[in-house]
Chain A
Amino acid sequence: MAKVTLTNVTKRFGDVVAVNNASLEIKDKEFLILVGPSGCGKTTTLRMVAGLEEITEGTIEIGDTVVNDIPPKDRDIAMVFQNYALYPHMDVYNNMAFGLKLRKFPKEEIDRRVNEAAEILGIKNLLDRKPKQLSGGQRQRVALGRAIVREPKVFLMDEPLSNLDAKLRVQMRTELSKLHDRLQTTMIYVTHDQVEAMTMGDRIVVMRDGLIQQVDTPLNLYNNPANMFVAGFIGSPAMNFLDAKLVKEGETYYLEGNGDFKIAIPANKVEENPAIKEYVGKEVVFGIRPEDLEDASVVEKPVTADNSYMASVEVVEPMGSEIYLYLTVNEHSMIARVDAHSTAKVGDNVKLYVNTNNLHVFDAETELAII
């Protein structure tokens, strides 16, 4: 059990800065997710914690020990990658045990660890099977078992589920979360899949171009993204962004979009985020999630000019419980997740109701969140 602390960690490959001045404290027993698009630095960060990559600047501590110069084998970590080796001639027991055997652990200790790991993973009845007799999920468990038997202080996982089919991936997500609850060990998990990140982590670190964008709980990231990148990356379908100008009429602040919309920002949101007042007359970006847009004809809330605007329907995707409308507003594309009762058709001009309590406003220059 250990916390992991990164302090001003930078990794350069020649002129390329892969990780830029990252500082992060991962709490003991925490399940932390590093997420971001390809090339954002998440895997490099994980590899530096593992000791696979050297740190150019800064320090990494596991527990209270600075591990910069400690080789991976002495760091008390275990790594799980998407591509793991199951040796076809070894049974499950030996596939989990060979690392311990090679490290010359006593037989009794190996037996104890393998049996305990197998019990936790629910594969005790498979210990004498060969890999070819296992399903995809069972194989994945064996790979996890190999990491568990090392009884590490920290598990490092690099997209371990990305080779599995969609159904199994969903199942393994739940199992990994349960496993974390059971093992009570610090886990750092890298993924490019924001759904995986949202469903599994205690906290999520969103990275882009080597920089940490935001570190927060899944819900806070979703509800209060720090900038447009996080807002657009977390959530599926992604948040809609529309160029707007902030105007003030009387005591009310409006997001005005080129004659297409004029949405009133609720007074309480202005009070909670007073910095918005500085933006009157300036260009901003109005952000709204697809689920905060509704077909005004089926919504039961009062629809006014202050909380709605017109959009033309390009594509209608019925999903069963809801409908995805792909729309355009003044050449901006956007998506609305509307009630299944909506009768909107391709080519229609529909009125969209905006749940203004959940709107977001970003600085057009810095892309940082204002609301």
Chain B
Amino acid sequence: MPLTLKDIARMAGVAESTVSRAINNKPGVGKETREKIMDLVRKYNYRPNQLARGLAKKETQMLAIIVAELSGADYKIIKSIEAYANEQGYNCIICNTDNNQQKEEAYLALLSNQQVDGAIIIGGELANKNIINTALNKNGLLVLVNCLSEELLIPTILVDSGRGGYLATSHLLEQGSRKVAIVMGSRKDYLESEKLAGYLQALKDYHLEVEEKHIIETDGSREGGYQAFFQALEEGDLPEAFFVTKDILAVGLFDAIKMGGYLIPEDFSIVGYGESIISSIIDPGLTVVAEPLEELGRYAAEYIINLIQGKNPEEIIKVLEPDLKIGESSRFKIR
């Protein structure tokens, strides 16, 4: 049976209210008594009953993590949010909306009904009516992760994927490649267009002409990556390096290059986007643009807990930069 506040009070020989004050770091407890109480708390791993605590403070100590579409990358963000939230005495419930507005509305109602103290929205690209309306309400404490808002300023943590495109391309250019192609999903996909913008900016900074044939748009699948290589072959004037914007595209591209009898990185250097299980098992090991997903989650949790505690973040929009994890797939080219 777990220890109660009463048990700690009895063991310390003080009133329950004194234990409560000590645990909640409130004044009115002598230094020695406080230390004695905290020693017992640590020794018996006493944890206040969150429900009772929440009732007293009119808080639930609960956060909702509302995910537009659960994916591999979200997993790391969610784990990081949960870890920080737990450290701070909060529990999390994970809500997957599958991009369904009704499901999202129902989960956001947890916030308006004060069943959670705050919510973190992950993904979904553009804040919609449900989100804007919740954020406009008094109790609507929200933090957006990788989601933009057109109308309203909502605390947001983002990764600059355009910067990722820039890093990947510059790396290949720094390695001596001069003909760098981008293999990407649809240009109409916002994140893909951002990565393309980063690619174009890097070429510009290196005073290189953009070759339209080196922008290879695909359906974003493994097959798309495979076909991309043959498209490059057909165009002639083969690129020396590829920046591949999705891990699954990289798998297809690797297949095609190897099947053609070419070597990576001797014949073609490749940089992928996103650290994932897929990119980690490709051989040779893929150089990737790694998004700081754990940091992203930690900031999101820190932001929402600060907001709950009445503290506004210094930067309401926090943009994190990805970095490059060098693998075996990109190597300096001797010209």
Give me the interface of A with B, judged by CB distance under 8 Å.
47, 51-53, 71-73, 78-81, 83-89, 98-99, 101-104, 107, 146
A-B interface pairs (CB < 8 A), number: 65
Q: B132, A52: Cβ atoms under 8 Å? A: yes
Q: Closest residue to B151 on the A side, CB-wise?
A: A79
Expressed in whole angstroms, the minimum distance between the Cβ of B191 and any Cβ of chain A is 10
Q: Which residues of chain B (97-152) have a CB below 8 Å from chain A?
A: 101, 125-126, 128-129, 132-133, 136, 148-152
A-B residue pairs, 6 tightest by C-beta: A83-B153, A104-B188, A99-B150, A85-B153, A52-B133, A89-B319
Q: B193, A101: Cβ atoms under 8 Å? A: yes
Q: Which residues of chain B (245-265) have a CB below 8 Å from chain A?
A: none
- Indicate whether B317 reaches chain A with its CB closer than 8 angstroms: yes
Give me the interface of B with A, judged by CB distance under 8 Å.
101, 125-126, 128-129, 132-133, 136, 148-154, 156, 158, 160, 162-163, 187-188, 190, 193, 315-317, 319
Q: Closest residue to A83 on the B side, CB-wise?
A: B153
Q: B150, A53: Cβ atoms under 8 Å? A: no
Q: A98, B148: Cβ atoms under 8 Å? A: yes
Q: B133, A53: Cβ atoms under 8 Å? A: yes
| Cβ contacts A to B, 12 pairs, < 8 Å | A51-B129, A52-B129, A53-B133, A73-B128, A78-B151, A79-B132, A84-B151, A85-B148, A87-B319, A89-B158, A89-B319, A101-B190
Q: Closest residue to B133 on the A side, CB-wise?
A: A52
Q: Closest residue to A131 on the B side, CB-wise?
A: B317
Contacts of A88 in B (CB 8 A): 315, 317, 319
Contacts of A73 in B (CB 8 A): 128-129
Q: B193, A85: Cβ atoms under 8 Å? A: no
Contacts of B148 in A (CB 8 A): 85, 87, 98-99, 102
Expressed in whole angstroms, the minimum distance between the Cβ of A106 and any Cβ of chain B is 9
Expressed in whole angstroms, the minimum distance between the Cβ of B204 and any Cβ of chain A is 12
Contacts of B126 in A (CB 8 A): 99, 102-103
Q: Closest residue to B315 on the A side, CB-wise?
A: A88
Expressed in whole angstroms, the minimum distance between the Cβ of B32 and any Cβ of chain A is 48
Q: Closest residue to B160 on the A side, CB-wise?
A: A89
Expressed in whole angstroms, the minimum distance between the Cβ of A241 and any Cβ of chain B is 34
Expressed in whole angstroms, the minimum distance between the Cβ of B280 and any Cβ of chain A is 28
Q: B150, A146: Cβ atoms under 8 Å? A: yes
A83, B136: Cα distance in complex, Å? 11
A227, B22: Cα distance in complex, Å? 58
Most chain B CB neighbours (cut-off 10 Å) among A79, A85, A87: A85
A104, B162: Cα distance in complex, Å? 17
Expressed in whole angstroms, the minimum distance between the Cβ of A85 and any Cβ of chain B is 4
Q: B152, A87: Cβ atoms under 8 Å? A: no
A99, B125: Cα distance in complex, Å? 9
A78, B152: Cα distance in complex, Å? 12
**Known contacts A51-B129, A101-B190; A85 and B154 CB within 8 A of each other:** yes
Contacts of B317 in A (CB 8 A): 85-88
- Contact with A85, one of B128, B152, B163, B188 (Cβ below 8 angstroms): B152
Q: A89, B162: Cβ atoms under 8 Å? A: yes
A81, B150: Cα distance in complex, Å? 10
A311, B148: Cα distance in complex, Å? 60
Q: Closest residue to A52 on the B side, CB-wise?
A: B133
A80, B163: Cα distance in complex, Å? 29
Q: A85, B156: Cβ atoms under 8 Å? A: yes
Contacts of B315 in A (CB 8 A): 88
A87, B126: Cα distance in complex, Å? 13
Contacts of A85 in B (CB 8 A): 148-150, 152-154, 156, 316-317
Expressed in whole angstroms, the minimum distance between the Cβ of B255 and any Cβ of chain A is 30
Contacts of B158 in A (CB 8 A): 87, 89
Q: A102, B133: Cβ atoms under 8 Å? A: no
Q: A71, B129: Cβ atoms under 8 Å? A: yes
Q: Closest residue to A72 on the B side, CB-wise?
A: B129
Q: A81, B152: Cβ atoms under 8 Å? A: yes
